[in-house]
Structure 1
Amino acid sequence: MSRIVAAAPAVPAFRYSQAEITTALEPLLTHDPARAALLRRIHASAGVQTRNLVMELDRYATLDSFHEANDLFIAAGADLAEKATRDALDAAGIGANEVDFVLFTSVTGVAAPSIDAQLVTRLGMRPDVKRLPSFGLGCVAGASGLARVHDYLVGHPNDIAVLVSVELCSLTVQRGDDSMANIVASGLFGDGAAAVVVAGDAVARERGLTGPDVLDTRSSLYPQTEDVIGWDIGGSGFRIVLSAGVPDVIGRHFAGDVHALLGANGLTVADVGTWLAHPGGPKVLEAFAQALGIEDAALEPSWRALAAAGNQSSAAVLGVLAEALRTPVPRDVGLLFALGPGVTAELVLLRWAAA
C-alpha cells in the first residue's frame, strides 16, 4: 500500500465571475449573433460560478501566438507548481530534500526540461530525485498520476513521492473559433495546480504519517473513443476536441469498472462513503451518479469544485481530494476517479484508518 499524506491546490491570482468571463470572451470567439447567443447559454449552464485565470481578462485579446502562450505556461506554471508543492510538503511535515520521486503532469503546455526540473532547484530537492514528467492524459492524469505514484511506492515502501499537476487551460482557448467544442471549453475550464504527497507503507508507519491508504487502482482504455476527448495540435496551439459523447461513454463502461475494482477488494458501491469525482462538467457528474446508482448529492464536493473553479483538467480531482483531507468528518472507504483522452478511466480505491 501507499498513504496519501497531504494535498494542496494553487490557483492564479486573477479571479472572475462566469458572467465577466463570458462577456470578455464572446467578441474573441465570434461575431455571429446566433453563435454568441449560444455561447452565452452554454456558459450559463456550465455549473461554473467563478474561475481563476493566469492573466487579466483584457490580456486574452492580445494573446495571439502559441509561442507567447507557452512561454507564459512555463513561467506561471512553475510558480504555481512551486506553491502547491511547498504547501503540500509543509502540510505533511516533510522536507523537500526527503522527496525521492516526483511525477509531474500537464496537458496545457510543453517544456523541456519539464517544469518539475525547476522544482528541484527552487525547493531544494536532492539532485538524485527521480522525475517522471507526463503529457497527454488530460483530465484523467490527476487520478492516473496518483495511481502510478502508488505503483512506484509499492516497490519502494521507504520512499516519499510527490505528484504535481499544472493546468493553464485558459491559454488554449482559440480566438475566432466558434465551434461547439471551443464554446463549451471556454465556459468550463479554469486554471490551477495541485500537489499530493504520498508515502510508502514502511515510512508511513515508521513516522506515524496519517491519511488515507491507496488500496488498489484500475485503469481502463475504452475502444473506438479516440475522437471523444483530446487536442488537435497545430500552429495555433491546442485546439480542443470535445464531443457530446462523454456521458454516453460513461453510461456504457464506467459502472463495470467500478464494480470490478470494488468486487476484487470484497466491496460494493454501498461500502463507499466518499466519492471523489473529477468535476468534468454537469453532464459528466450526472452521468457518473446515474451509472453508479447514487444520488447527485454524493458527488457534492465535485459540484462545489466545479462551481468555484471550473474544470481544471488533471488538477481538478486533486483539489477535490485536498478538500476531503482537510474536512474533519469520519471516513472509511473512498473512490477517486476521472476520465481523459483515450477515452481512459482511472479509479483509485482509498481507505481511511479508523480514528
Structure 2
Amino acid sequence: MTRIVAVHGVLPPHRYPQEEITDMVGSSCRLPRGDRALLERVHASAGVRGRHLVLPLERYAGLDGFGARNEAFLAAAMELGRDAVRGALDQAGLAASEIDLVVSTSVTGIAAPSLEARLATALGLRPDVKRVPVFGLGCVAGAAGLARLHDYLVGHPGETALLLSVELCSLTLQRTDPSMQNLVASALFGDGAAAAVAVGSRPRGSRDGDPAPGGPRIVATRSHLFPGTEELLGWSIGDTGFHIMLGADLPDLVRRQLGGVVGGFLADHDVKTADVTAWICHPGGPKVLDAVREALDLPARGLELTWRSLAEVGNLSSASVLHILRDTLALRPPLPGTPGLLLAMGPGFCVELVLLRW
C-alpha cells in the first residue's frame, strides 16, 4: 500500500485578526448602504479568528483586474510552493531528484507553464519527472491529489510521488460584488500552501518491501459526484477574475447524502464509522461542518482539529485538508493499526474519500 511519509504546510507572513480583515473588506468593497452591518455579522459567524494573507491589507484596495491578480498569484505561489516542497522533502529525508511524479493543484490562479514546471529547476526535480497540473477541483483537490498519488503508486510501487497545493484565495476577492456569496467567501478563505510525499509499497532501497515507518498507509479511495449539482459550488469567470458560486442548499445536500456515501465506502472495507479514530475533514465553513457531523453522527469533538484549523487560518481551499492531516500526525496520532478517513468536498458537487490506516 501507499504510505504518506511527509506532509508540510506553509503560510504567508501577513497575519491579521478577523476584525481587521472585516474592516478592509468593508472599506475597499463597494457595498450598498446598510450592508456593512450584514458584512460584520457574516464575518463574526464564520468561525474564523484570523487569517494569513499573501499581501498586506492595504494592497487589496488597489488590486483591480484579473491580470494584476494573477501576476500577484504567480509571484507569491512560486515562493510558497517552493517552501512547501522543500519542507516536505526535508521531512521525508529525500532529495528532489528522487521524485518520479508531481501532482500540483490550485484553483485561485492560472499558470502556464504550471507551477511545478516553473519550480522544477530551482527545486532540483529531474528533467524526466512526470507532471500532472490540476485546475478546477477546488477544495476537494487536497484529498483528490492524495488519491491520485495512490492510484499512480499502486501501478509503480517502487516510485515516489509529490503533491503540491498552493491556494491564494484572498486574490479572488471581488470588490464590486455585493452578493451574499462574496461576503461569505470574504469571511472564510485564507491563503496557504502544502506539500505531501508518498511512496509505493516497494520504495527504492527497501530490503523488506515496506516503507520506513512514520506515516499512515492509504488503503483505498473513492470519488463521488452528485448529479445535477454543478451550480452549488465553483467559479464563474469575469473580467475581474473568479466570482464565487456558493449555493445555500449545499449544507442540506451534505446532511442528506454524505452519510450514505461514506458509510458505503467504509463498509466495502469492513470498517464502521465508530471504528474510525481520526476524521481529517476539509473545513468548508461552520454550516458545512455541522452538516458533516450530523450526517456521519460524529461525537462533538470528532472534527476538533478541523474546527481549530478554520479558526486559526480560515479555509485554505485544497491546502486545508493537508494542513489538518499534518496537525493530526503531529498532535493527535491515532493508535497503530486503526483506520482514519480523510475527506473533502468541492465543485461538481463532489466528495473525495481517502481511507487511511496507521
TM > 0.5 between the two? Answer: yes
What is the RMSD of the two structures over their aligned residues, measured on CA atoms? 1.1
User: Is the Cα contact below 8 Å between 1:30 and 1:36 reproduced in 2?
Assistant: no
Per-residue CA deviation, residues 192-237 of structure 1 (Å, 9 max, x unaligned), is 0000011111117455243100000110000111110000012110
User: Is the Cα contact below 8 Å between 1:6 and 1:325 reproduced in 2?
Assistant: no
Structure 1 length normalisation: TM-score?
Answer: 0.97
User: Is the Cα contact below 8 Å between 2:282 and 2:343 reproduced in 1?
Assistant: yes
Per-residue CA deviation, residues 66-109 of structure 1 (Å, 9 max, x unaligned), is 10110111110011011011001101111111000000000000
Q: Within the alignment, does 1:253 sit opposite 2:257 as a pair?
A: yes
| Higher mean C-alpha displacement, 99-108 vs 242-251 | 242-251
Shift of residue 176 of structure 1?
1.7
SS in structure 2 at match of 1:74 = helix
Distance in 2 (CA, whole Å) between partners of 1:210 and 1:60 is 41
Q: Runs of at least 4 residues of structure 1 off by over 6 A?
A: none
Aligned ranges for residues 288-307 of structure 1 at < 5 Å? 288-307=292-311
- Matched residue pairs, number? 352
SS in structure 1 at match of 2:34 = helix
Per-residue CA deviation, residues 131-152 of structure 1 (Å, 9 max, x unaligned), is 0000000000000111011100
Q: Within the alignment, does 1:317 sit opposite 2:321 as a pair?
A: yes
- The corresponding residue for 2:340 is 334
Shift of residue 296 of structure 1?
2.9
User: Is the Cα contact below 8 Å between 2:14 and 2:52 reproduced in 1?
Assistant: yes
Distance in 1 (CA, whole Å) between partners of 2:33 and 2:314 is 26
Structure 2 length normalisation: TM-score?
Answer: 0.96
Q: Within the alignment, does 1:281 sit opposite 2:280 as a pair?
A: no
Q: Within the alignment, does 1:230 sit opposite 2:220 as a pair?
A: no
Q: Structure 1 residues 32, 328: CA separation in 2 closer, same or farther (over 3 Å shift)?
A: closer
- The corresponding residue for 1:80 is 80
User: Is the Cα contact below 8 Å between 2:199 and 2:211 reproduced in 1?
Assistant: no
- The corresponding residue for 1:98 is 98
- Give the gaps of 5 or more residues in structure 1: none
- Give the gaps of 5 or more residues in structure 2: none
Aligned ranges for residues 70-219 of structure 1 at < 5 Å? 70-203=70-203, 205-206=209-210, 208-219=212-223
Counterpart code for 1:246:
L
Distance in 1 (CA, whole Å) between partners of 2:304 and 2:261 is 22
Higher helix fraction: Structure 1 or Structure 2? 1
- Percent identity of paired positions between Structure 1 and Structure 2: 53
Counterpart code for 1:184:
V
